[in-house]
Structure 1
């Protein structure tokens, strides 16, 4: 027999969890006691639970696998909510394993007792309060299964101290025995139909989304683009889904995007969205950037993402890699967009005109350009919400996948520093830099102490804007 806390940590180990972020408190202390005796898992003590949630977000998004955060009951849990909401909007598999008030005092207006499950339901894929130690391992297995199922996203579990200390039988079940480890492939008939539509196009454009990154499909997309000559734009939150340094790259689309993408996209008669969640910043949710006359082939791993914003000519559901490789095997024609190089030259000239090195005080575009120049090609840039991020996106040439991170579709000011710290822990050999506004820096400035204590080497540039 083992305790519930021991059973929980054993489940985390089987899932390959090697970091847990959070703050200890009365009701999650049994978890921390077990972690202290588990050298394979590093516990990162933060200064605030929000910082812990954002570090877990950065860690999970950098590696495209789950990360775990823990807090105590009541205010500890409510402090996690902003980071969990960000994970929900950004499709990040963040798992909250937190404390809850003991069963015998619940629903009696006890100190720090709230309905934590109801609190989390709008911002998680599943929220559950574990009623007994015998249900704990089953709950953890379901948490990982739900978090990793498409669309990926956060899960909340809570349990009280008495449950975590209660004895239960160990259930050493491997992850492959309780959840799928691969995505279904796209149907051959749908690939045939998509290839036929593309073959008849005059000016097709690929629009790459986060699915390319999550499935490590950039190499396949690059091969497809080069074989067909079709240029590639990216959704604004994922400019690293196709390197902007590539000859066929148009850059990120939409507001604060690149004019090379915004001028080319309206000319497309067929738009092929790959692994794409169509967002507001990239398209304004209106025709214009994407032509009303264009045929939209929308691929996603999530059927409910398709047709939400724009009606589609064809919906394709399945793994992003199978969609790209399926098109590569079927599309034999090659196009020549002679305007791509010209549009990129014009955009580069637009950016150069923003760089007034003699102006005082120093202008934000000058800072953003200097940051991109200082960060090595393999480095990771984390952009906080607000004006600092706007300038950084303009100058953020990308060289490699998973080298850019923004608080997708959530816009939570203050997330930049802790997300960068999580990214650095996930990829310790890569330089990590964060662009943060002065207000955003103050939101989680306490995590500077965490960075020093835990030796998390990130460079954070603060815009006085």
Structure 2
């Protein structure tokens, strides 16, 4: 009979899993021993468990499919807390299959022993300890069922070596036998209400959220917007849900979004939020960008995000395709022509260009953001880390296709950008990938540069280097009378450091050298790092949370 570990890996194979991320330890070696004999499954050994889980996060986001990570017990799993929290807040189906101290050693103050289930409960949809060999395969099925159910999210499974190595009868259920793959449709009564309200609108706007990406319905949303001539503003965490290069695109809404979107959405009398979760950065959780008197039609695949921030007039729960098709059929070709989208976007582009000084030394962040926009090949993926650097870049990003942008949604974990981008590059190796982060963010997981070199992962990492914590400098300027404290430090030359690791690397100090450096980086045959020294006093505006 096969071992429990063998049946779990076989279950992953039936789910189409081809990559597993992690670090071996005494209590997960049985899993890795099976993976070693599974040629269709690639194990990505990382330098830290946080890097492994963020790579899995990026892999899941870029590929719109679940990703698997493994670590040993105790410090192995605690090192994954931040990316699991990111996956929980960002609705990313991340599945951890981890180690657990042997039963006979528990509650005896053994090394690395802890209550891992209680630890994971606040940052997972489900955390489960496999108590016996006969429970393992059903646990894996439930893990996928739970992780992929709307809203998706992370799951933690754990077992000891004794259980992983125990023999058990194999169960060979296919995924179609234990989890649904089709979402229910929006009720006709909800569609009737939504159509009646939208038909009376004078100034409608569509807000596009991450559900559009998860359900792969960007094409349907484009068709709906075009048929009814309604402008679209994607939310801040999903600017690629509706291409910002489209004639009806207002650009992303909110702080560090596009002024074209912010101005137009303020005028809307009816807002149709499609696949949307209202986030702080997009809406500020106040009636500023979304007027209090505006009618809100909110569609989502689950009840969770509806009404959590703004009261709704219609709550449409169900699949995005059914909502768009049903609503369009009831509108019977009705069109609107209340705003000149092209003029609004042109006005914003002029404002944006005014922020750029291509000759300023030290280099200014808006110039860097503009160069990155121009040099990232069309259809390439941009992964943006949290912090001052990301705020500048988000204003200048232009999307042409879905699944081409990533931010650590609703978590803002500094240091996530680089490993997340590595995961994205593994999920879609035929697409250029650009990771943008500050110097603090890059240092958080710089060890994964060795992983990138060893695994031959091709991507470009740009370090927007202000030699400190720019976001906190901005907060101290705005709210502490400019009293800077604990925000400055010294960095190595990241270009030189990249070459020490075996990657392509260079440092840029003059604005005229940046575009050529980016072209060389994208042409490199492997990972590349471009260290851009910027003006540390050029800070993005803050949104005070107190």
- Fold conserved between structures, TM > 0.5: yes
CA distance in 1, matches of 2:157, 2:216: 29
* Counterpart position of 1:258: 258
CA distance in 2, matches of 1:341, 1:5: 57
**Structure 1 residue ranges (4+ consecutive) displaced by more than 2 angstroms after TM superposition:** none
Structure 1 residue 324, shift from structure 2 partner: 1.3
* Counterpart position of 2:320: 320
* Counterpart position of 1:105: 105
* Counterpart position of 2:423: 422
Structure 1 residue 432, shift from structure 2 partner: 0.2
Contact preservation (8 Å) 2:434, 2:462 = yes
* Counterpart position of 2:500: none
Structure 1 residue 193, shift from structure 2 partner: 1.5
Q: Does 1:20 align with 2:2?
A: no
Secondary structure of residue in 1 paired with 2:245:
coil
Structure 1 residue 328, shift from structure 2 partner: 2.1
Question: Residues 15-70 of structure 1, C-alpha deviation per residue, up to 9 Å, x if partnerless?
Answer: 11000000000000000000000011100000000000000000001111110000
Secondary structure of residue in 2 paired with 1:272:
strand
TM-score (norm 1): 0.99
* Counterpart position of 2:542: none
Structure 1 residue 340, shift from structure 2 partner: 1.7
Q: Does 1:42 align with 2:39?
A: no
* Counterpart position of 1:7: 7
CA distance in 2, matches of 1:305, 1:144: 22
* Counterpart position of 1:139: 139
Structure 1 residue 304, shift from structure 2 partner: 2.3
CA distance in 2, matches of 1:269, 1:425: 43
Q: Does 1:329 align with 2:329?
A: yes
TM-score (norm 2): 0.85
* Counterpart position of 1:122: 122
Structure 1 residue 150, shift from structure 2 partner: 0.8
Contact preservation (8 Å) 1:6, 1:34 = yes
* Counterpart position of 1:305: 305
Structure 1 residue 354, shift from structure 2 partner: 1.0
CA distance in 2, matches of 1:326, 1:47: 49
Structure 1 residue 191, shift from structure 2 partner: 1.0
* Counterpart position of 2:175: 175
Question: Residues 350-382 of structure 1, C-alpha deviation per residue, up to 9 Å, x if partnerless?
Answer: 110111011001111111111111111110000
Q: Which has the higher contact order (CA 8 A, sep 6+)?
A: 1
Structure 1 residue 439, shift from structure 2 partner: 0.2
Contact preservation (8 Å) 2:88, 2:154 = yes
Aligned alpha-carbon RMSD (Å): 0.7
Structure 1 residue 338, shift from structure 2 partner: 3.2
Contact preservation (8 Å) 2:151, 2:304 = no
Contact preservation (8 Å) 1:229, 1:337 = no
CA distance in 2, matches of 1:338, 1:58: 37
Question: Residues 293-321 of structure 1, C-alpha deviation per residue, up to 9 Å, x if partnerless?
Answer: 10000111111211111111110000111
CA distance in 2, matches of 1:216, 1:128: 30
Structure 1 residue 325, shift from structure 2 partner: 1.6
CA distance in 1, matches of 2:97, 2:405: 28
Structure 1 residue 189, shift from structure 2 partner: 1.8
Question: Residues 367-420 of structure 1, C-alpha deviation per residue, up to 9 Å, x if partnerless?
Answer: 111111111111000000001111110110110000000000000000001000
Aligned length: 465
Contact preservation (8 Å) 1:186, 1:317 = yes
Contact preservation (8 Å) 2:425, 2:459 = yes
Contact preservation (8 Å) 2:124, 2:153 = yes
Please list, as runs of the form range in 1=range in 2, the aligned pairs for 1:284-295 lying within 5 A after superposition: 284-295=284-295
Question: Residues 131-166 of structure 1, C-alpha deviation per residue, up to 9 Å, x if partnerless?
Answer: 111111010000000001111000000000010001
Structure 1 residue 434, shift from structure 2 partner: 0.7
Question: Residues 171-230 of structure 1, C-alpha deviation per residue, up to 9 Å, x if partnerless?
Answer: 011111011011001111211221111111000000000011111111111111111110
Question: After the TM superposition, which of the residue ranges 43-52 and 305-314 deviates more from structure 2?
Answer: 305-314
Please list, as runs of the form range in 1=range in 2, the aligned pairs for 1:259-408 lying within 5 A after superposition: 259-331=259-331, 332-408=333-409
Secondary structure of residue in 1 paired with 2:144:
helix
CA distance in 1, matches of 2:370, 2:180: 43
CA distance in 2, matches of 1:338, 1:417: 39
Q: Does 1:239 align with 2:236?
A: no
CA distance in 1, matches of 2:328, 2:378: 28
* Counterpart position of 1:431: 432
* Counterpart position of 1:195: 195
Q: Does 1:56 align with 2:70?
A: no
Contact preservation (8 Å) 1:433, 1:460 = yes
Structure 1 unaligned runs (5+)?
none
Structure 2 unaligned runs (5+)?
467-546
